[in-house]
Amino acid sequence: MTLLTLDRVACAAPDGTLLFSDLTVSLGRERLGLVGRNGSGKSTLLRAIAGEHPLAAGSIAGNARIAMLRQLPRARDATVADALGVAEDLARLDRIEAGAPRDDDLDRADWTLASRLDAASASAGLAAIDPARPLATLSGGERTRMMLAGMLLEDPEVLLLDEPTNNLDAAGREAVAALLAGWNGAAVVASHDRALLSDMDAIVELTRVGVHRVGGGWEAFAERREAERERAARALDRGEQALARARREKQRETEKQAHREAKGRRVAASRSEPKILLGARKRRAEATAGRIETKGGESVARAEEDLADARGRVEVLDPIRIALPPSGLSANRVLVEARAITCERGARRLFGPIDVTVRGPARIAIAGPNGSGKTSLVRILVGEEAPTSGDVRREPGRIALLDQELALLGSGGTVLESLRRLAPELDANQARAALAAYGFRNAWAEREVASLSGGERVRLALAGLFSRAEPPQLLVLDEPSNHLDVAALEMLEAALRGYDGAIVCVSHDAGFIASLAPTETIVLG
């Protein structure tokens, strides 16, 4: 049964820039994953399906009931009822049950609300929960299940989820996966979570060079993508060879014509032929030279155009790869030593007492549910926060923190300015060369940092840190994958695998942690 049909859909950014085009999909009772680089139009497409964003072209047809995942309210005193959007409806029912209805309470009462709340909560794996309970008292898993319950209240047939596992602990991620696994309607899921994408029935990738649909989950998509990368690389190689041949052929013909013209000039100088014949020969030579130049130029231009297309496809399909320079870290050097540290918030102890030692090229993963103090622990280790009790000794100057917001990049300025703040010993030319090594060439240097995607910001942070005379020997990462698309995530994983320094990492992304091959895991909570 087809619930939605997208026919040659195109979406554009608010400034009119085309994000993607020619997307045709018939959506039945299946789970469709949406992938693509940041800015490719994933969120825009979800909003278009929900009727909240105009299409640049094409059409979306279907009468299915659609629900998008709600975002939690920010108010400190918000309750479960506020988050579910039913506070007013519940208050109306309470007044009626108390025998004190107001105005049109009886006419507007939703008598099915209680049963629908129970059904939605059960579908989201959420036990009975008091609607008046403050949001702040819910765990990460409970919050996620509550958000899912709110989405299910209207008995939808199509679910739209935009990065549903971002900032979620293991319990929250499991709640999202469990809902999708048991969902009997349609779901469109924009995500970089490869574990979640593994359970999709099909994946659609949005790129600047086209829209691709692959049946199956992440593994099938990754296999097809690798094959496309290989084909694109071969096409690039053929294009480079074709351009070289075209240039050589043009040069040979030009040299042959120059030889003929030189011979003609020698004949003319000898005065052995009539002037009228010499004039005709000269005109023929000029015409031939013109044809050679035109034909050769056209061949070279076509080859250059084909090569540019091949390069563009490789750039879209193959993420930028960077290699971090040696850190100079010895196997026995202790970078951080924390003894019996604790962390408290008011009367609540988040963790401790615990010991943490970062020695040599250690790879330490920090795990635990939301609210267990993982971010506080990494801030204590790098010296940005003091422990409630205990002692921390660290090597100054060789430790760098990459937090979720990449605060080390600053709040404004250009790419070049940001890099020079991080590596002030570089002059302008050295800074531009450093940027080029990390994929920021030419005009990129003058781009505003605020305009960069998550992956570009990570690259810039690494460029600044590792262009210093003394690069960091310890990288501390706090949920580095939260704002990265899949291509940027793979780029970061590859860079960190080749890094010879120490790493301390907080992440709910099991695949990302596994790629680091941790030598130790600290579990909080």
* Domain ranges within the chain, ordered by starting residue: 4-224, 230-317, 334-523
Tokens 């994946």 belong to residue:
203
Name the residue among 290, 288, 306 with its Cα closest to residue 245: 306
Task: Assess if CATH 3.30.200.20 describes domain 4-224.
Answer: no
Measured CA to CA, the distance from residue 63 to residue 125 in angstroms comes to 28
Topology match between the domains 4-224 and 334-523: yes
Cα separation values, 167 from 278, 346, 431, 492, Å: 83, 24, 34, 18
Beta bridge partners of 446: none
Do 80 and 130 meet the contact criterion of CB atoms below 8 Å apart?
A: yes
Helix axes 454-466, 415-422, angle to 10 degrees: 40
Tell me what pLDDT residue 242 has: 79
pLDDT per residue as tens, the chain (525 positions): 799 999 999 999 888 889 999 999 999 999 999 998 888 899 999 999 999 999 999 999 988 999 998 666 666 788 888 888 888 999 999 999 999 998 888 999 999 888 888 888 887 777 777 888 888 787 766 777 888 888 888 889 999 998 888 777 787 888 888 889 989 899 999 999 999 999 999 999 998 777 888 899 999 888 887 777 677 777 777 777 877 887 787 777 777 767 666 666 655 555 555 655 555 555 665 555 556 556 656 676 777 776 676 666 555 555 577 889 999 999 999 999 999 999 998 888 999 999 999 999 999 999 998 788 999 999 999 999 999 999 999 988 899 999 878 888 887 899 999 999 999 999 999 999 999 888 888 888 999 988 888 888 888 999 999 999 899 999 999 988 877 888 888 889 999 999 999 999 999 888 899 999 999 999 998
- Token pair, residue 44, equals 């825009």
Report the side by side order of strands in the sheet with 57-61.
18-27, 4-12, 57-61
| pTM (predicted TM-score) | 0.71
* Contacts of 400 by beta carbon, 8 Å cutoff, 6+ apart: 408, 465, 472, 474, 475, 476
The highest-level CATH class for domain 334-523 is: alpha beta
Pairing of strands 363-367, 66-68: unpaired
Could you give phi then psi for residue 123, rounded to 5 degrees?
-65, -30
3-state SS, one letter per residue, for 309-325: HHHHHHHHHCCCCCCCC
